[in-house]
């Protein structure tokens, strides 16, 4: 069947839709059969989910355990710490978005819709006010940033300030949250903390490893190759176990050593389980990132380095100004893919006894009142995972578009 | 005579005068280079004076590209001596970066930085090697683009330009460092025929302004008009050298005759 499809630009009419359907869905006998079979399965599946979500399911299990899902056993009178971090992030996100690129109408509508859903679900007392504050902060910062970009010439310095702000927010979050024993962290809070720390820490480490792997110094190259190949050859669960049970044997005990005749006392380092999980995830992810970045490095033509050398640029500047920007841009989709995998892999920390989002979803159904409500709880958990992962994927596309200017 | 904007070598070039008493800015003594078992350069000895325009020809694989790439150490020579402006090329990094910033190079494939605007392509090394202020480097970029005839392209990305325009930006980028020597490695070989002239015109103007130039090219028109001296390379050696007249009217070596008969 080789009929041409009508051009997209023409207005959609019933006649056009029928024409399209005839050409694409019912073009031949096998095609028609396939269409019917697929439609039947699709309809059954959609109807099944629809019926469950709106009729069969009893959502009290989610409603009554919101706190567990989102923050675990984080003490109520310390929750303000999380809100302060969220306010900071909302303001910075609005600012950055406004400074680097405008928000399209579609995205804005999607975001507002999502927020309305959250609001409908959480609108209750302080939570409602805090959510409203987040929206206000984001919108205000965004508007201010757009104004700055449009009417003044300070977009450049403001961008530097925003980057500094993000770094500062990391310090702020650490200072605020570490006051609460990490054994009490749980749910989405723990999942997001592990994912964000993992991403932020493994990215530079991965870039360093990738660059080190191409180094002309054999010691550095061998170390990087060894690290990457060793870590990639081991499952994340093994690393988590190692961090939980073997790391303490190595670092937690105070020990005295005699080095070259000098007595040295190594103080023991206390590591809590969350910190161990962070370390394991970072170590694991950085090895994969290193290989992705190496692919990007190889995609940069040799002539680029030669041209930069011929201008008198030194090795570090060639790497930072010429090679890495091109290499990283080429592999943004793969990098974000790795980050999404990392985000979902955080669910593995249950095996060292942490109650992240998925485990929280299982725990709530152990309560006598909610026995047998696994489907509701897990569906809710899946929805949260999907929203975050999907947002990351969209953000990556936006990033590609923003950076894609002048692509050859 | 077009104006030069980088403040150097503004006097019109007088070929006869330029040669007499001028210093040897490049001195090569018995330069050899191997790639594995293959010997690309088998002992190149030559001196090039300031303000001289040298055109290098030769069959492919004769070592001409390798030779000019050893002059700014994109290739390291294995033995022999290369002295640029009184400084010997060796593994001393300080020397190297200084010498490189005084030698401009234009490549066959342009090698512009695709992620940077034309402006940034030109000013990048100015701010990071010369530590020039942004205002000054932008002014210099503007005047250089004027000189190569494409001032309106300053905010575009390389991919938005034609091949000829890209190569002219590449020349402007090299000139921005105010080099004392310019190397051209087959600058028109990757261009569509209709764009070759616009690049050669820029090179002609540069030659007339008194720039020391070493050009690997097969463009006979440019060679006849601009060259002070010809070098003919074959199998890693300079087999014949002389003035353009000598070359085109009275070549001595069989290999030179054969080569010229093939490309003329």
User: H or E stretch including B30?
Assistant: strand B24-35
**What are the helix (H) ranges across chain B?**
15-19, 64-71, 93-102, 118-128, 134-147, 163-176, 193-208, 220-226, 244-249, 254-263
- Cα–Cα dist A207/B209, whole Å: 46
Residue B1's SS3 state is: coil
Name the range with the highest mean pLDDT among A3-7, A121-125, B13-17.
Answer: A121-125
Is A310 close to B105, i.e. CB distance below 8 A? Answer: yes
CB-CB neighbors (< 8 A) of A317 in chain B: 128
The mean pLDDT of A12-36, rounded to a whole number, is 84
This complex has an ipTM of 0.88
| pLDDT of A128 over the 90 cut | no
Which two three-digit tokens encode residue B210? Answer: 């008194």
Residue A51 burial (C-beta neighbours within 10 Å; 0-12, 13-18, 19+): exposed
Closest alpha carbon within chain B to A314: B97
**Domain residue spans of chain A:** 75-180, 184-255+267-408
- Cα–Cα dist B122/B137, whole Å: 8
B119-147 confidence digits (pLDDT tens):
999 999 999 999 999 999 999 999 999 99
Least confident range of A209-218, A246-255, A372-381, B17-26: B17-26
Q: What pLDDT band is residue B28 in, cutting at 50, 70 and 90?
A: very high
Q: Which of residues 183-212 of B touch A (CB under 8 A)?
A: none
CA distance B100 to chain A (A): 5
Residue A341's SS3 state is: helix
Q: CB neighbours of A135 closer than 8 A, spacing ≥ 6?
A: A90, A115
User: B145, B169 in Cβ contact below 8 A?
Assistant: yes
The pLDDT value recorded for residue A283 is: 95
The pLDDT value recorded for residue A395 is: 82
The pLDDT value recorded for residue B11 is: 42
Helices (H) and strands (E) in chain A, counts: 19, 2
In a mutational test of the A interface, the residue from B71, B114, B170 whose CB has the highest number of chain A CBs within 10 Å is B114
With an 8 Å Cβ cutoff, is B111 touching chain A? yes
Q: What pLDDT band is residue B94 in, cutting at 50, 70 and 90?
A: confident
The pLDDT value recorded for residue A298 is: 94
CA A67, A69, A75, A80 torsion-angle sign: negative
Q: What angle do CA A253, A255, A259 make, to 5 degrees?
A: 145
Largest CA distance in chain B: 55
- Cα–Cα dist B194/B186, whole Å: 16
**What are the helix (H) ranges across A11-124?**
14-24, 29-51, 60-64, 66-71, 79-100, 105-122
CA distance A22 to chain B (A): 42
Q: Among residues B50, B126, B228, B66, which one has the least CA distance to residue A312?
A: B126
A285-305 confidence digits (pLDDT tens):
999 999 999 999 999 999 999
CB-CB neighbors (< 8 A) of A300 in chain B: none
- Cα–Cα dist B57/A283, whole Å: 54
The mean pLDDT of A238-244, rounded to a whole number, is 91
Closest alpha carbon within chain B to A310: B100
Which two three-digit tokens encode residue A240? Answer: 């988590």
The pLDDT value recorded for residue B198 is: 93
Q: Which of A304, A309, A310 sits opposite B113 (nearest CB)?
A: A304
User: A191, A387 in Cβ contact below 8 A?
Assistant: no
| pLDDT of B241 over the 70 cut | yes
In this structure, what are the phi and psi dihedrals at residue B83, rounded to the nearest 5 degrees? -120, 120
User: A310, B72 in Cβ contact below 8 A?
Assistant: yes
In sequence order, what are the beta bridge partners of B237?
Answer: B234
User: A232, A287 in Cβ contact below 8 A?
Assistant: yes
A335-386 confidence digits (pLDDT tens):
999 999 999 999 999 999 899 999 999 999 998 988 888 899 999 999 999 9
- Cα–Cα dist B156/B159, whole Å: 8
The pLDDT value recorded for residue B7 is: 40
Q: Which of B100, B105, B113 sits opposite A322 (nearest CB)?
A: B113
| pLDDT of B1 over the 50 cut | no
Share of chain A above pLDDT 70, in %: 90
Q: What angle do CA B257, B203, B188 make, to 5 degrees?
A: 60
| pLDDT of B248 over the 60 cut | yes
| pLDDT of B16 over the 60 cut | no
Q: Look at the domain A184-255+267-408 and name its fold.
A: MetI-like fold (1.10.3720)
Is B100 close to A303, i.e. CB distance below 8 A? Answer: no
Mean residue pLDDT of chain A comes to 86
| pLDDT of A8 over the 60 cut | no
The pLDDT value recorded for residue B107 is: 96
B142-179 confidence digits (pLDDT tens):
999 999 999 999 999 999 999 999 999 999 999 999 99
Q: What is the 3-state secondary structure (H, E, C) of B4-28?
A: CCCCCCCCCCCHHHHHCCCCEEEEE
Is A408 close to B114, i.e. CB distance below 8 A? Answer: yes
The pLDDT value recorded for residue B23 is: 81
Which two three-digit tokens encode residue A331? Answer: 């592999």
Q: What pLDDT band is residue A131 in, cutting at 50, 70 and 90?
A: confident
In this structure, what are the phi and psi dihedrals at residue B191, rounded to the nearest 5 degrees? -100, 150
- Cα–Cα dist A214/B161, whole Å: 32
The mean pLDDT of B91-114, rounded to a whole number, is 90
The pLDDT value recorded for residue A130 is: 83
CA distance A200 to chain B (A): 24
Buried b (16+ CB within 10 A) or exposed e, A244-280: beebeeeeeeeeeeeeeeeeeeeeeeebebbbbbbbb
A150-187 confidence digits (pLDDT tens):
887 777 788 888 999 999 999 999 999 988 888 889 99
- Cα–Cα dist A242/B186, whole Å: 58
Q: What pLDDT band is residue A87 in, cutting at 50, 70 and 90?
A: very high
Share of chain A above pLDDT 90, in %: 45
């Amino acid at each position: 069947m080789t009929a041409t499809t009508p051009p997209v630009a023409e207005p959609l009419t019933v006649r056009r839709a029928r024409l399209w359907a005839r050409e694409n869905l019912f073009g031949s006998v096998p095609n028609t059969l396939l269409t019917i079979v697929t439609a039947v399965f699709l309809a059954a599946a959609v109807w099944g989910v629809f019926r469950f979500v709106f009729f069969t399911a009893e959502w009290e299990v989610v409603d009554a355990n919101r706190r567990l899902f989102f923050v675990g056993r984080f003490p109520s009178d310390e929750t303000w710490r999380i809100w302060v971090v969220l306010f900071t992030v909302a303001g910075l996100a609005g600012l950055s978005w406004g400074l680097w690129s405008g928000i399209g109408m579609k995205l804005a509508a999607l975001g507002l819709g999502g927020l309305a859903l959250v609001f409908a679900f959480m609108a209750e007392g302080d939570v409602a006010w805090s959510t409203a504050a987040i929206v206000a902060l984001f919108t205000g910062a965004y508007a201010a940033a757009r104004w700055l970009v449009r009417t003044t010439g300070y977009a450049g310095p403001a961008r530097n300030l925003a980057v500094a702000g993000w770094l500062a927010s990391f310090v702020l979050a650490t200072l605020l949250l570490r006051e609460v024993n990490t054994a009490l962290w749980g749910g989405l809070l723990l999942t997001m903390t592990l994912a964000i720390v993992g991403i932020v820490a493994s990215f530079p480490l991965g870039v360093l490893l990738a660059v080190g792997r191409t180094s002309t110094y054999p010691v550095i190259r061998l170390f990087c190759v060894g690290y990457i190949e060793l870590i990639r050859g081991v499952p994340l669960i093994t690393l988590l176990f190692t961090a939980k049970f073997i790391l303490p044997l190595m670092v937690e005990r105070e020990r005295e050593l005699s080095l070259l005749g000098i007595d040295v006392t190594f103080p023991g380092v206390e590591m809590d389980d969350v910190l161990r999980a962070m370390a394991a995830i970072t170590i694991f992810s950085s090895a994969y990132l290193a290989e992705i970045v190496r692919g990007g490095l190889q995609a940069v033509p040799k002539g680029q380095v030669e041209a930069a050398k011929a201008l008198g640029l030194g090795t570090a500047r060639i790497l930072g100004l010429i090679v890495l920007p091109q290499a990283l841009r080429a592999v943004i989709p793969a990098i974000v893919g790795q980050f999404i995998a990392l985000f979902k892999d955080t669910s593995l920390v249950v095996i060292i006894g942490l109650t992240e989002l998925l485990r929280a979803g299982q725990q709530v159904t152990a309560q006598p009142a909610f026995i047998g409500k696994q489907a509701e709880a897990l569906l809710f958990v899946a929805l949260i995972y999907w929203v975050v992962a999907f947002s990351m994927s969209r953000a990556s596309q936006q990033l590609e578009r923003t950076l894609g200017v002048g692509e050859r | 005579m077009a104006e030069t904007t980088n403040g150097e070598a503004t006097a019109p070039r007088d070929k006869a005068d330029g040669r007499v008493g001028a210093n040897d800015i490049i001195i090569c003594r018995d330069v050899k280079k191997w790639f594995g078992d293959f010997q690309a350069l088998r002992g190149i000895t030559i001196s090039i004076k300031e303000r001289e325009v040298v055109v290098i020809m030769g069959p492919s694989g004769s070592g001409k590209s390798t030779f000019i790439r050893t002059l700014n150490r994109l290739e390291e020579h294995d033995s022999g001596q290369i002295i640029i402006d009184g400084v010997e090329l060796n593994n001393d990094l300080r020397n190297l970066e200084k010498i490189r910033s005084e030698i401009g190079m234009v490549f066959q494939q342009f090698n512009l930085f695709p992620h940077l605007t034309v402006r940034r392509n030109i000013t990048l090394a100015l701010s990071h090697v010369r530590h020039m202020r942004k205002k000054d480097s932008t002014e210099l970029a503007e005047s250089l683009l004027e000189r190569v005839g494409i001032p309106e392209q300053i905010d575009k990305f390389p991919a938005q330009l034609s091949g000829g325009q890209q190569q002219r930006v590449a020349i402007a980028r090299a000139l921005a460092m105010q080099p004392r020597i310019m190397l051209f490695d087959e600058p028109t070989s990757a261009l569509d025929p209709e764009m070759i002239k616009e690049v050669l015109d820029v090179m002609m103007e540069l030659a007339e302004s008194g720039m020391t130039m070493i050009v690997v090219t097969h463009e006979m028109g440019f060679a006849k008009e601009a060259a002070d001296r010809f070098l003919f390379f074959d199998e890693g050696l300079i087999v014949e050298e002389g003035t353009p007249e000598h070359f085109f009217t009275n070549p001595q070596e069989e290999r030179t005759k054969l080569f010229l008969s093939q490309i003329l």
